[in-house]
Chains A and B, each alone.
Chain A
Amino acid sequence: MELAEIKESFEFFDDWEDKYRFILEIGKDLPDMDDDYRIEKNLIRGCQSQVWLVYAIEDNKLRFQIDSDAHIVRGLLKILLVAINNLSPSEIIETDLETLFEELGLMAHLSMSRGNGLRAMIGKINQIAENGAS
């Protein structure tokens, strides 16, 4: 799935129901993380549900695996991954993820009382990218 496809789908949603059905649907595509990685050390702080993140850097490309125990969060993570997976650290730093979620009308998930922790995830990803770039 491409980011352009996701953006296009969002343009056609009339109401919250379509939007959330879509988010839940694409969340199903997110590969389940191995239990070995679903450990305390890989948890992102500041999320209400559990979110695990592991990454590797290969040929200057960052590859992320992210998973959560909440379905809506998995959908949001899927969007995040489509936006950034296999980009170089400096490309990730240039990607304005907050604006992306704002454009998709998912800002509530960014600001909502640390709600689904999207802001925490974006922060973590940017931090990894910055470390990878330096």
Chain B
Amino acid sequence: MKIGVYFCKCGTNISDRIDPQKVMEEITKLKDVAYFETVDFLCAEEGKEFLEKDLKKKKPMRVVLGACSPRDHEKTFMNVLSKAAINPYLMQMVNIREHVAWVISDICKASDKASAYLKGAVARVQLHEPLKPEELNVCPDVLVIGAGPAGLKASLSLTEAGRKVVLVEKNPVIGGMPVRYEEIFPNMECGPCMLEPMLGDVLHGDNSENIELLTLSEVVEVAGYLGNFIVKIKQLPRYVNPKKCIGCRECIEPCPVSAKNEFNCSLDERKAISFAFSGGLPNFPFIDDKVCIRTKGENCRLCEDACIVDDAIIFDDKEKVIEKNVGAIIVAVGAELYDCSNLTNLGYGKLPNIYTSLEFERIIASNGPTEGEIQGFGKKGPRSIAIIHCAGSLDKNHIKYCSGTCCQSAFKFNQFISKKLPNTKIFHFFKEISVPGKETFQLYNKALNNPDSMFIRYRNINEIDVSIENGRLAIHYSFSSGKRCKSTADMIILCPPVIPSSDTAELGSILEIPADRYGFFEELHNRVDSIQSKLKGVYLTGSCQSPMDIQNAMNQGLAASGYILSGLPEGKKLEIEPIIASVDEERCSGCRVCNLVCPYKAIDFDEEKAKATTNSVLCQGCGTCVAACPAGAIKGNHFTVEELLAEIQGVLT
């Protein structure tokens, strides 16, 4: 075999510390080494040009490069090999700079070590196989799960780039949590006004024909991998035909039954046929068959009778299972709030006038249960309102982390209350204050400067006791010194932390993506790759990945669409790195050890043949299964048993 060896002097970085002459003498002794070239700067433009020409001229069958770290320049030289029409995997790079020249002061020892490494490479490279990236046809369409800020932004940016999106939303309305807020921090913009243009674009914008919106829907099954997922979506019947309904609301009034309205945090009731809240989009009602008396056998048609168009109400609408083929999946299912009834001393759910932040959002919303009025306290409103921050956050008995958004909601409420009820005193009970970034401190400052607001730092949420005294809410708490104190309020707003939604675990198991220690979906890397899940082709956006504000949720939606536009190019084939594992069926004994050790679920088991097979798209080439297979039936490309044994032998002898 004709092997060409190149020795980069790296200026004098290498050649001052390793004697090229001595190394050459050692290496040219080896039987298959055809030539040994010394180059000044292999990675410089002239160096690469020289290498390309020399390779073309000498046509070696294998190439060994003694130079710097392959982590720096392996790709550089692989490209040069490709240009010289040599398969780039027929090369082995030896790190004689970082691992030898720079760390060994004795030139004799350094030269010996460099020779040993080169011998290992010469032994190994002979066994290298020409490898080619596998090419795969992919589906460019995308499934987005959840139509909150994150999912909407992702859908819009993908369709703007010409992609097709299937947008699955569990609720009858889109917009996620923020469509329920009257005002949005930090700039106190009107929530519905801020979001409506986006919702409008999704429903009937320029690219809306490329968004297939499925409301009242959930993903129930997912199979496949990046480029090729098959997804099953269950859609509940709406009983209202969106193509006919004009959203006039005539049907609501006559409906004879009602139930608690979960879209208003159950603070009021809705009819069996209803809108989630006024202004909710898409603008047509739904029939809740758990409430409607027709499902109990009665022949009520009052809503249909009231309907002013024909066939808008479809009593025999059925649950559907819809199958879709997509290339990537964006998860944007949002989060929930920690259940404040776990904070037993605070009286939530037992005493009157104690609300969570989300409930208070609905109370102050003009499309909420009281149309924005804080009722029950006469014309002047409540004398004082207590806002309890960190209601369960940063506490080892409840939620360990800080959600980073609750203080901002608290100061938003301060603003709102002082505008709406100028005579009301506001107490902020806090453990810590979190107002990061360039804007959020402003609301905090306003609250600080508000003569009607007071800040009280408590020691521990578990030491706060709320009770009724003289018809008002008495709040007993401890200062950091331990001293007990009491304040009185007419209303309490609890700001609990954001926690993973109750759907997260189930959806995670459907998608086969893991959760982190708090139950949020786990990112591939929390700094470098927080948008990618641990499964290739599944992206995480918004507060299902971590608590965040709307700005970040939108940014993540954009980031995910960027990943997809660049990583899953339409009309192109997906190139799959050839450094992956493959199973030799003959040798596979069907023991499934590989199934257990693979961190990427890249190994399937063919039950019929009782053999393992690897999935080249999912495989990341770590080689764990190769090392684990007791039958030696798995080959790890470019790091085969034979190649590594040859390298070990070459280096040591």
**A and B are partners in one complex rather than unrelated chains:** no
Which residues of chain A have a CB within 8 Å of any CB of chain B?
A: none
Which residues of chain B have a CB within 8 Å of any CB of chain A?
A: none
